[in-house]
Amino acid sequence: MTLATQAQQTNAQASQTRERLDLEQVRQLAESAGRKIAPLWPLDSFVAVNPYLGLIDQTFSQASGYLGAIAGERTAMDHEWYAARWRDGRLARSHIERAVEQLGRPVAVETVIDALESPRATSTPVPMLVEKLDRPGSAPISIFVVDQISHFLAAHFDRGQAIWNAPDESEALYRAWREYTLIDRSAQAAGLGKARRYLRDVPVDPIEAIAWAIETLQLPDSVHADYLFAALKSINGWAAYCRYRLWGAELTGGSNQDLTDLLAVRLVWEALALKATDSAAIRREWQREIERHHEAIAAAQHEAVIDEVMLTATEIAFRDPVIRHFHAATGTRAEAGRPPVQAAFCIDVRSEVFRRHLETSFPGAQTIGFAGFFGVPLSYSRLGESTCRTHTPVLLNPGIEVADRVEGDEDLATRREQRVGNTLSWKQFKLSAASCFTFVESAGLTYIPKLIGDTLGWHTPAPPPDQAGLTDEERARVHPALATEADLDARVGMAEGILRGLGLTGQLAPIVLLAGHGSTTTNNPHRAGLDCGACAGQTGEISARVAADLLNDPAIRPGLAERGIEIPEDTRFVAALHDTTTDEVDLLDLDEGTVEPSKLAELRQALGQAGDLTRLERLVTLRENLNDNPADREAARKSVTHRGRDWSEVRPEWGLAGNAAFIAAPRERTRDLDLAGRSFLHDYDWRQDEGFGVLELILTAPLVVASWINLQYYGSTVDNERQGSGNKVLHNVVGGLVGVLEGNGGDLRVGLSMQSLHDGEDWRHEPLRLSAFIEAPAEAIDTIIAGNETLQHLIDNRWLTLLRLDDAGEVFRRRGHGDWVAETA
């Protein structure tokens, strides 16, 4: 057959494909592929995200097999990790037997035990065409394509880092990339010099461009959906960022086309590479491979089932001691009069450690766990800023607008704006091409003391965004307040919601502490990930201050009394901030004249003692040597302070590593249980929850957010290459605050760094799916789940395990609607 005849046949096939392709069908395929991608929040609001979010409508093992076969993604640890637990007794035959039973006996127990001694099969992903075009001794085309797209997107989405901005940042992503690539000559180095010529014939509309690429590649109909998803997975980081932009737009009723545009870019490169290299033989071989790929999916599904049995058995081994404790705690204790203090902390696992030690240091104190935004769904505008940022869980829309106010200094906002602007200008000057060499030559010696100070941790770390541009004295005069004063009835309603959510409808202490949390770190692009997830990756300070102001307002107390909530005259709500790096707790906006001095002194002493004990416990997990004295409290304080200020410290704290459980029950259920900082603790008493409105809030918001956190840590551990961000020492911030690259090129990285999960010798995070214990009637739980599709997917498809406690401390596992089975340890 002549080349001319082959060309005629190719053109005829392409023409027939064009007739078959319906643009609306292509649009739906693109939409479906994009929805399978999990969003990635930018660095200034970096929050944990379930990396499997787009696949939770499948069972865990189905999604695992699919990801392995399509993207080569691992969703379980190597068999050796489970085998090590088998050999040392942490994983027993009884655990495996119960796991097989729970999963409906998909495999035999002996099959799983035998698999422990065999290496896990390697998943083979859908082969992208550009990968088949790579040749030894030549520039790799697959790497070039990802780098070219990544460099373009870094400029297109830049948020202030670039010295020279893109010509038209408002232009649609695909159109902007097309214009950019038509003048970009970098493809020649990768052997794709003809690509620009072919690009001129590619449609300008992204959906038509996707159709053109499918036709050019002659993709069989049966692989369209999988190949489009694989294409997005090949540039997963930027796809995740585009998914975030779509998420944000839809949350406010809008739309965004960046994800579809990115898919068009990635597929067009596939087709351009094929045409530019004229590799018909490679295309035929590649098409045969992808047509056979359904066999790989079937094989991956079988492996995924065995992996899930091992995972489930390990989760059972973790849960058993907790369940035994609940069985022993057969009732709640009677209230012992008015407590001296009630302290509400975020449900974050780090708060569990501090709460436990505060209760030890302050007998009679009552601690409470609640989502760190304290039920105040606000958006917040900093002093000198004209835009608001969300300060609630990203699942919710803010309903209250808060802005900084300052009394007696109307020009402070302008001065702050100038200071921050000058800092950015100086930083930009240091980084500019015109000054880099002369700057080092002229200022290098003066930087020696700063470099030494930074290395030794002498300097105060860069302030968080809320404090930047303000002195301590100025910051003390800035106060968040409702941007638009709500009427009295609305404020009473907000206060009632806060108190009922916290369970504070009975006897109130003289001091009620509302402690948000944040983290002190230096030189850490992902610092927001260590702050409060319930506050959209910011500290909980603003939420605590706004809630305390509202609850201290004497005008609302009569209205609360009419609704059945009496606040004593001497009760004072005090905002606080718990620093999870140093475990110091700062009291905020406190008018000491309104609190009895002896009670305030007792609280401060107890907070200090609890901080000492918490630091000592945390430093053990950080393998910190306290001068050979593990109980040296002063050395512990100095150590954690140094870790937060040291620019070279790769793990100032462990964050939420180790998280594995969520417990919503009265505190008396867990007061005597050391949960080792592994459990989200949400206080909840269903007897005080008329209509189960609080239970619904807990299940649909805090539980879902905890699941996101849990699965982000899980995914970053089991496959850090694809769901984590690699080595944080190599991170480079891209696009201002868009994200990080590992090194100078490649895809945008998602998830957590290895240093946040591994201590250099062993994993600090044990990758387990969340075990959620809820003390509430089965009927109420089932009704809420039936009305929420997200909960149905998470629970019924085994992305978490839901368990219920009854009044006697018995534990029941949910198998389906109305189907609860007793769980024995």
Alpha-carbon gap, residue 92 to 86, rounded angstroms:
6
3-state helix, strand, coil in the chain (%, to 5): 50, 10, 35
Largest CA distance in the chain: 98
CA 546, 550, 552: angle at the middle one, nearest 5?
A: 115
Query: Are residues 95 and 316 in contact, defined by beta-carbon separation less than 8 angstroms?
Result: yes
List the beta bridge partners of residue 379.
390, 401
DSSP 576-639: EEEETTT--EEEES--GGGS-HHHHHHHHHHHHHHHHHHHHHHHHHTT---TT-TT-HHHHHHH
Alpha-carbon gap, residue 86 to 102, rounded angstroms:
19
Q: Which residue has the tokens 């800023």?
A: 385
According to the annotation, is 348 in a ligand binding site?
yes
Angle between helices 79-88 and 109-116 (to 10 degrees): 100
Alpha-carbon gap, residue 35 to 29, rounded angstroms:
10
Tokens of 285: 């071989």
Residue 48, CA atoms < 13 Å, CB-side half-sphere: 27
Alpha-carbon gap, residue 720 to 722, rounded angstroms:
6
AA identity, residue 22? D
Q: Which residue has the tokens 């880092």?
A: 161
According to the annotation, is 459 in a ligand binding site?
no
Q: Which of 43, 97, 260, 266 has its CA nearest to residue 172?
A: 260
Q: With 0-12 CB in 10 A as exposed, 13-18 as middle and 19+ as buried, what is 547?
A: buried
Angle between helices 789-796 and 693-700 (to 10 degrees): 60
H helix runs in 667-719, sequence order: 693-700, 702-718
According to the annotation, is 242 in a ligand binding site?
no
Alpha-carbon gap, residue 718 to 45, rounded angstroms:
24
- Which letter does DSSP use for residue 763 in this model? B
Rounded to whole angstroms, what are the CA distances from 214 to 306, 378, 467, 550?
A: 36, 45, 51, 58
AA identity, residue 478? V
- Which letter does DSSP use for residue 823 in this model? -
What is the bridge-based pairing of β-strands 511-518 and 341-346?
parallel
CA 488, 385, 242: angle at the middle one, nearest 5?
A: 100
Tokens of 357: 């030690």
> What is the number of other CB atoms lying within 10 angstroms of the CB of residue 106?
14
Query: Are residues 71 and 228 in contact, defined by beta-carbon separation less than 8 angstroms?
Result: no
Q: Which of 168, 158, 585, 656 has its CA nearest to residue 361?
A: 585
Alpha-carbon gap, residue 742 to 268, rounded angstroms:
26
Type and span of the H or E element at 275: helix 258-277
Tokens of 479: 């106060």
Alpha-carbon gap, residue 412 to 429, rounded angstroms:
26
Query: Are residues 72 and 275 in contact, defined by beta-carbon separation less than 8 angstroms?
Result: no
| Residue list for the binding site | 346, 348, 517, 532
| Residue list for the binding site for Zn(2+) | 346, 348, 517, 532
